[in-house]
Structure 1
């Protein structure tokens, strides 16, 4: 299907033909290629209601405009659940689409601009979307009361039906939506007592599952407008390198290649189809200037990181008197250094974007945008248009894990530069291959942790000294909290604690990776802690509980995970278990892992028992899926993943053969328990990742007798 055919429905849907204003701001009437749930039925004339977050169709469907991108983590379903709960809708009538790009109307309340990340989608929207649903409910009730000439107080709403028991009248939402649009929205609405929830807390099916299963879901890669020009860019093998010269004579001989242009990011090849673009790029000869490039290998970087430990560093935590504590008699002291490699995000869908010039000279951009307003503004600046003339249409996307959440939108800058370099008469799709993505930088930074700990005769940790060396993801010269989170606020009762951070500068661009600083601090803390307890002959669960005295929610998930695993029972021959507990993004997760050694010596993780406390559980089905997915993602990384720089600084990895994900036969059995809670909901997209690495390493150490001092545990050959 062409873009013209598909976009007709989307344009009519988002423009609407009437309005149900609920006290927020009207949705801009933009022409948008909206990513829809796939279960939406009926023609565009049926969706007549319009407001900031909720649309009511004449067919009784309720469509929620998600300000957060749907990339598999469940905001379409979660936000629709919040609306449906307060609206008293039936789940079968709920739909979801992406909202337009607008940093004010659709701001993430945790960020101050529209964006998805930090496991904040539900946490920042919890009351906002419930109020949106409750307000629409009140207006539908007011419309029914006016039409039926009955008191609003006598009207009830249940499972999508508006009823008046006295007269026996009832209606669906659709028949009342036009009249409801004329009703003055209430200034304030009373939200339900959580004890009366009927949908929140239920395992409702995800709204986007069917369309993603039957192939109807539209991703950016699926957008193929007529007369499309496909573009790919040749990038250097060294970070910081620039084009010195290039020879495109062979490239231009490839049938379908249209043009070749030098850009600040590399050399772009334009073609009539993807095959020609890739083939043309493969025969392009580029001479790269390495004068400003990173030419150190990963081994050299590790050596330089160790040298940085002699610098003063930046104090992240300083409690008690660490040096004095280490001088006390009768202590057992342990020291360790742990090296963490660069990690690529490796989402299933690499980066891509489509640019289409409208007849009036404005521009439609389609991509999976975690920061849509930022992407729109970047595209507008590059192509020389006012931002009001650029429509950023957010598409569902096949994963991200932080990859698309880039301040300054460097990918959009490249994509827009590729488009701007043409005469703009043809739509342009700019795309990265898997190799471009793995070798494209914006990695989880490489880190070095130096640890020193002391444990007394009672088996209690009394002193802890930790230094962390790595890039500042935020580019700061002073303390970057993302480098030390999870270490500087150690949850264990340690009277003498010091954490120091050392920022280093590299040409390798850094970025947050699923669970950010907790990817390395959680591993370092929980493995080193476990070694100290083993050195003291203490049970790792009981010892943790003894020093988790400040926050009972830590102990809650640890106890539950241990209970699920029947901790203390006999472990099958040839296996060992490890445990870890990490709080990230406000969510507490405890995990127990059971490991054996495979025939090839590779760790084989058989089972993972996981307990999670994320406050009020909006949808247990989504929470469990995110814990399972996070465990698989984190386990693959700790076992196999590393982006390494070889001799001269060249990037060694390129695809899943040497930067591989965990395979289906390697995925352990996972059991998840959700702790019942009345606390506000917190994130679940990332917190399942941090504990699985240290829990696996702890089990592996107990099985083999060797602690893990560098990751990945299994070195993948790259030569």
Structure 2
């Protein structure tokens, strides 16, 4: 996920600052105007810093962004290495500790990794910080040698003075550099001198992932630890009434049975024993007020709520009047289901509650919130909680939530040893915090020439922002995430009205899911644009082009995707191409999906072609991988993804009932990049949002059946 704010909330950075240590130069994130003399702060790393250069030459980048498979540690290290004039192999990234003041994302304004914001936040800040660091080190060398700094050059972390033949490594200069006045600014390298940015680079985390050296949260081994398997009340709002544990305690390796208000855990010497013990428990639940809740009630609740007047997000012109007088009128209802994050690494957390504090080992997108949850559950001050962050085996917004850290801590508080809590896949899916259900009503009118004269879009669904980041709500009560990419589309529409009806369904907690607002709204907007093109009897690409006269970057990717996909070339019967376009997360993307629909309704994906303008590319290999991975994630959800409830219980439990797109079902994916010098856009969620309308429009082109409700396949049929 993940994302609290839109690209419009991305503000340029203006402040920078420094801290240094004896024998090591440490540079922090904010740079106040005017020079400062750095102060000795001890040989240990100071937490208000991004860069550390040790006396032995080791260069450490303290990363506020969490690595969860998106490649940000490599991309950020490339930015740093470029401006430091060092090799990528000379930079070692490390996790930043929880510290909102020092490590808050300049885009999200909190210490969180999400919303496709990492490179957008790092782009200026990390390069500027590195450039200033480089200038100080060169100044140290020039002072040591008594030469003009302008006559010095740097290569791979070594300062050279050609005229005298002298050279010095960054490590040997760190102590002296730490005593010098620090400039408020330093020039960035011109693009034509870049050695790393824009070139394909191997990811820094690949080797250890291949050889098994990467330690994810689920891999943590703390001396003396035990393992807990957990059963939570199957209905949200329910409680544990009683548990019979005699049989469980007889199982070899079972150590203890622990209770929570709404759950129970069995502790074992290993997970196998804990899980067997859990299966042997006889549990009686008080299922609470949602025990009779059905999926039909949830859907009906949204439908009824949608009749209300929504909070207005956009009102340009008189859209209802324009539609009323249009030559052609079109109305549609689009619905999107609850979705689970279902990361490959299920929820886990290791906690040791000690007399003098709490230690937590976990993968989290929000280390500060994880610290808060542990402190609250343990009943200690936040400062007494130490967070050991680990690589994440897929986040997708799930680990923007930290309630599981509180649950693990509440269990660990009951025992004297370190306790690792692991959720089974079934527990992970059934007790996820789900992508909201959406019920959207859209209407539009066309004139006699097939041009859009008016458009209305009413979104009905819950708000994540109000719970997760209340300051992000607009003064009128609008959650901007619910209307992102609906409020501002790529197209020029003369009369445009967008609103949102808040509806909080019972029985679930909703959360951000990879692609957030755009993953919902791009599906609706691009699906409806496709419907309008058909109603106007125009080709979907030709229909879009006149609407993009003021959006050249979108027009370019649309034309590029169509060209590379062979748009308009003949296709066999039952095969169709669907196209979509989006401006989201600061990037511009168009995707063409080629799909085959059999007579029985089975859908086979044949080919995906994407054209992307994400501004300045950092690592083209990573860019393509992000789009490919995002598309696969989105195609999976578009075809199969759905969480439903019956009697208050989530019906899906594992990958047999919550289907993934399999390798043999995944089509060839081409990603074509537009060369651009614009500031970088986001990528983590861009491809995911694009997948939904691309495949839905392809299904229509192949079969004539319009997809307005997801998932596309139910029991492997189009319906």
* TM norm structure 2: 0.90
Could you report, residue by residue, the CA deviation over 1:621-670 in whole angstroms, capped at 9, with x for unpaired residues? 11111000001000011011111112x23211001111121111111111
Please give the secondary structure, in 2, of the residue aligned with 1:479: coil
**1:528 correspondence with 2:528:** yes
Counterpart CA distance in 1 for 2:699 and 2:130 is 49
Counterpart CA distance in 1 for 2:240 and 2:465 is 27
Could you report, residue by residue, the CA deviation over 1:495-514 in whole angstroms, capped at 9, with x for unpaired residues? 22222322112230000101
CA contact (8 A) 2:232 2:262 kept: yes
CA contact (8 A) 2:353 2:412 kept: no
Counterpart CA distance in 1 for 2:281 and 2:221 is 26
**Aligned 1:430-509 pairs, distance under 5 A:** 430-475=421-466, 478-505=477-504, 506-509=506-509
In structure 1, the partner of 2:684 is: 685
Q: Which moved more, 1:628-637 or 1:230-239?
A: 230-239
Residues 1:283 and 1:600: Cα distance change in structure 2 (over 3 Å): farther
Counterpart CA distance in 1 for 2:391 and 2:40 is 20
Q: Runs of 5+ in structure 1 lacking a partner?
A: 1-14, 31-44
Counterpart CA distance in 1 for 2:318 and 2:28 is 56
In structure 1, the partner of 2:331 is: 335
Residues 1:29 and 1:557: Cα distance change in structure 2 (over 3 Å): farther
Counterpart CA distance in 2 for 1:653 and 1:461 is 41
Counterpart CA distance in 2 for 1:77 and 1:27 is 30
Counterpart CA distance in 2 for 1:385 and 1:293 is 33
Counterpart CA distance in 2 for 1:226 and 1:370 is 26
Residues 1:123 and 1:591: Cα distance change in structure 2 (over 3 Å): same
1:413 to 406, 412, 427: 406
CA contact (8 A) 1:27 1:51 kept: no
1:95 to 92, 100, 123: 92
Shift of 1:521: 1.0
Counterpart CA distance in 1 for 2:687 and 2:392 is 21
Residues 1:600 and 1:52: Cα distance change in structure 2 (over 3 Å): farther
Please give the secondary structure, in 2, of the residue aligned with 1:657: coil
CA contact (8 A) 1:632 1:662 kept: yes
Residues 1:128 and 1:472: Cα distance change in structure 2 (over 3 Å): same
In structure 1, the partner of 2:27 is: 22
Q: Runs of 5+ in structure 2 lacking a partner?
A: 1-19, 31-37, 468-475
**1:374 correspondence with 2:379:** no
Please give the secondary structure, in 1, of the residue aligned with 2:571: coil
Shift of 1:211: 1.1
**1:580 correspondence with 2:576:** no
In structure 1, the partner of 2:307 is: 310
Shift of 1:454: 1.7
Aligned length: 682
Counterpart CA distance in 1 for 2:261 and 2:114 is 29
In structure 2, the partner of 1:556 is: 556
Could you report, residue by residue, the CA deviation over 1:480-525 in whole angstroms, capped at 9, with x for unpaired residues? 2221211122332222222232211223000010110112111111
Residues 1:27 and 1:478: Cα distance change in structure 2 (over 3 Å): farther
Please give the secondary structure, in 1, of the residue aligned with 2:608: strand
**Aligned 1:49-60 pairs, distance under 5 A:** 52-57=49-54, 60=57
**1:199 correspondence with 2:196:** yes
1:399 to 376, 394, 403: 394
CA contact (8 A) 1:297 1:649 kept: yes
Shift of 1:27: 13
Could you report, residue by residue, the CA deviation over 1:84-128 in whole angstroms, capped at 9, with x for unpaired residues? 111111223222121222111111112222111111111112121
In structure 1, the partner of 2:164 is: 167
Please give the secondary structure, in 2, of the residue aligned with 1:21: strand
Residues 1:496 and 1:28: Cα distance change in structure 2 (over 3 Å): farther
Counterpart CA distance in 2 for 1:290 and 1:170 is 72
Residues 1:529 and 1:141: Cα distance change in structure 2 (over 3 Å): same
* Root mean square deviation, CA, Å: 2.5
